[in-house]
Amino acid sequence: MKKLIVLIVIVVGVFFGLKYIGFNINYYFKNITSSKEEVVLDKVSPQQTVTVKPSEQILSVQESFEKVAEATLPSVVNIYTEQRVKVNPRFDFPFGDNPLFRDFFRDFFDTPKKREYKSTSLGSGFIITENGYIVTNDHVIKNADSISVKLSDKRTFKATLVGSDPKTDVAVIKIDAKDLKPLKFGDSSTLKIGQWAIAVGNPFGLNGTLTVGVISAKGRSGLGIETYEDFIQTDASINPGNSGGPLLNIYGEVIGINTAIIASGQGIGFAIPANMAKPIIEQIINKGKVERSWMGVGIQDMTPELAKSMGVKIDHGVVVNKVYPKSPAEKAGLKEGDVIIKCNNENVATSSELQKIVMNSKVGSELKLTIIRDGKEMTVKVITEKMPEEESISKDSLQQLKDERLGITVRNLNPDDLENFNHKNGVIVVEVGNGSLAETVGLVEGDLIISVNKRPVKNIKEFSAIMKSFAKGAIINLMVEREGDTFFVALRLN
């Protein structure tokens, strides 16, 4: 009995003890919780935070960048291109190279149709006139079947190619828009190493990106990027998608066109100088192509070894290693082995310098060359001529035509297209409108229209004239080539 009473006393004691302890723990945590203050970051005492007061000069520089961004970003555009690429599927014969089986299976399996897929790319550009002329790089729009432009206000336009110059990587496209905000060109000849350089574009498709750096170097050449190189080098970040965008000075003026990066070199980008690009752009817009001056010589840089072997004591100049027949150089009396040391009384140190002078001169200009021949200095005057077999792409060969009744856009054949078609004349369908007459009869992008009602079509001019001759309700017959096959398409004009 006593044991039972003792056990009851112990149990009761433990119960009240635990209850007391629990009460005190709750009280303790309540006090902690109630004493904890609510944190509001904006109310943290200034004396407890770390802040820095920038100098007025730093704030002024920051404000300058803000103004450049605000003023220029609306003039920079996103460029999207599409290109149709045809490939031949490969068929592997199940019996190796056995000629008996190969000849047998070729009749059934070795005639696969070319597969076609769309290749897309993106780049940047900038507006240069209020009515829609836009500058970009040639490599951004090269071989594109369609070009789309997206403005900073999200509007999207189809663009046409006005003209392009692969030798300098400059191209001009046009959109049907008004009251746009063009950028102003600056004078790239006044640039100094260390000055601010601001690159604007759409790297990796990220719209309206601005990066800041400095002019790292000028007159970069010998990079093997373009035929004519006189690049501005900058450490402002230029990434894929930036190509064709502007390189700006602190005044928001275009001093270059961003064009290239060195894949293995971080922070090294290149831009075409504004003064080199401007005359190219003007020729493309005004003439649809680029006419470039030509002397007709092959040249190479002078080296100490060459100078010693030729018996001349000079540390600069270019050596003439070829004179083309019937060229301006031949007419002026230049000979292989001549060393050109001056052009128009200015020293010529490298081949790229002489190329630049000739390229920037107008066709028919007189160039006064100071040369060394057989150890003697003399003067030769060369009258430049238009470069033969000009490689710039003309406006006429690339312009497009939209036929509203058919609902298609067509363009002329160019040399790159010829290998894809059996016929060497015609117009290529580059766009078929949704719900259009052309779509209902099965025309697709990439079709080559060879004739209309048995009337051969050589180019878009002839195609336009033929189509205009048909009245409403006329039945026409198109001869079309697609993937090596030729067929007819009949339709009635609405």
471 labeled part of a ligand binding site: no
Kindly name the residue from 75, 121, 138, 139 that is annotated as catalytic. Answer: 139
Closest CA to 17 of 1, 306, 25, 304: 25
Within 10 angstroms of residue 135's Cβ, the number of other Cβ atoms is: 31
**Active-site residue, 169 included:** yes
Ligand-binding site membership of 82 (annotated) = yes
377 assigned to a ligand binding site: no
* Active-site option among 138, 145, 165, 169: 169
Contact between 196 and 250 under an 8 Å Cβ cutoff? The reply is yes
242 is in an annotated binding site: yes
Span between the terminal Cα atoms of the chain, in Å: 116
**What are the C-alpha distances in Å from 478 to residues 385, 417, 456?**
44, 20, 10
The closest alpha carbon to 405, from 377, 380, 438, belongs to: 438
203, 210 Cβ separation under 8 angstroms: no
User: Has 261 been labeled as part of a binding site?
Assistant: yes
Compute the radius of gyration of the chain from its Cα atoms.
Answer: 35
- How far CA 267 is from CA of 136, 261, 368, 474, in Å, comes to 22, 8, 40, 62
Token duo for residue 373: 């021949």
103 is in an annotated binding site: no
Cα separation, 135 vs 256, in Å, equals 11
Cα separation of 331 and 329, whole Å?
A: 5
The active-site residue, picked from 121, 164, 243, 327, is 243
Q: Does 145 belong to an annotated binding site? A: no
What angle separates helix 351-360 from helix 274-287, to the nearest 10 degrees? 40
186: CB partners within 8 A, 6+ apart: 248, 249, 251, 253, 254, 255, 274
Of the candidates 314, 77, 97, 284, the one whose C-alpha atom is nearest the C-alpha of residue 181 is: 77
List the Cα angle 265/271/275 in 5-degree steps: 155
243 annotated ligand binder? yes
375 is in an annotated binding site: no
Binding-site residues, in ranges, read 82, 139, 169, 241-243, 259-263
Binding-site residues for substrate, in ranges, read 82, 139, 169, 241-243, 259-263
Where in the sequence numbering do the catalytic residues fall? 139, 169, 243
